[in-house]
Amino acid sequence: MNRIVVIVGVVLLALAGLVLFFIARGPQLPPKEGAVSVVTVSEATALYSYKIIQAFPHDPGAFTQGLVYYKDNILYEGTGMWGESSLRKVDLKTGKVLQIHRLPDEIFGEGIVVWNDKIIQLTWQHRKGFVYDRETFTLLKEFSYPTEGWGITHDGSRLIMSDGSATLFVWDPETLHEIGRIEVYDDNGPVVRLNELEYINGLIYANVWQTDRIAIIQPETGRVVGWIDLTGLLKPEDRHARVDVLNGIAYDAQGDRLFVTGKYWPKLFQIQLTKP
């Protein structure tokens, strides 16, 4: 009987040691196959507010899903909603639509990315995307993927795509096949509903759907290293009946200008990040 008591005691001490070991490690997110490994970072997450530098007209009939600054005050925009989805070339200063390709009524358009002389556009639940000639908007090909499509950007060598979960999918830009994953998290765990994306100076900026926040993500780890709170950006007098959520991030690298807008918003804003 004494031997049994000793054995039980040793086992309990060993289990207690394991528990203390895992507590000391901190929370660990289980990576999916092919995921970028997640590490716990102790630094505090940066919090940002904003200053409006300039407001520009924006088509209030545009259900903005993707936004890209090209050059010379030209934007490319992907819009969604059944019967309204499109790919557009837009003049930043006037908001005028200079060129448009309308998607079939049954297709719900999503994010876009400019890759060299092409534009790639996602769709929501059809699990297929379109590749266009950037100049003419001529459809070059269609491709498929196994998830929903939400946002898409690139880091100069890879495409990075969101599907509304906490996972960002890394694609080869030529084959459009998955080559990796990034699991996004903050101090509270996985960050879900990642939507429109923009890659800016080594970090991924992501709208979080149905919030006024943008997550700033470190691509190597998936950790959210900053939050931008855009509460109050669109004033009450600009909120017409169809105004929907914040969505749309574009960056002018040459001019170091950051632009944001939303679905059916009548304005597009150039903002500067500030500390609250």
Give me the number of domains the chain comprises.
Answer: 1
pLDDT, position 10:
40
| % residues pLDDT > 70 (the chain) | 84
- Using CA atoms, how far apart are residues 244 and 132, in angstroms rounded to an integer? 28
User: Does this model's pTM top 0.95?
Assistant: no
> Domain containing 105: what range?
36-274
pLDDT, position 29:
30
Kindly report which listed range (5-19, 29-43, 136-150, 196-210) carries the lowest average pLDDT score.
29-43
Compute the average pLDDT of residues 60-84.
98
Domain presence at residue 247: yes
Domain presence at residue 153: yes
Domain presence at residue 9: no
Confidence of residue 101 (pLDDT cuts 50, 70, 90): very high
pLDDT, position 241:
86
Compute the average pLDDT of residues 202-230.
97
pLDDT for 13-53, tens place per residue?
444 443 333 333 333 333 333 322 222 333 569 999 999 99
pLDDT, position 8:
38
pLDDT, position 276:
76
| % residues pLDDT > 90 (the chain) | 83
- Using CA atoms, how far apart are residues 247 and 213, in angstroms rounded to an integer? 10
pLDDT, position 43:
52
* Residue 151's CATH number: 2.120.10.30
Q: In sequence order, what are the beta bridge partners of 197?
A: 206
Domain presence at residue 15: no
Domain presence at residue 26: no
Domain presence at residue 97: yes
Domain presence at residue 181: yes
pLDDT, position 42:
35
pLDDT for 248-264, tens place per residue?
999 999 999 999 999 99
Domain presence at residue 71: yes
Beta strand 35-36 with 178-183 is: parallel
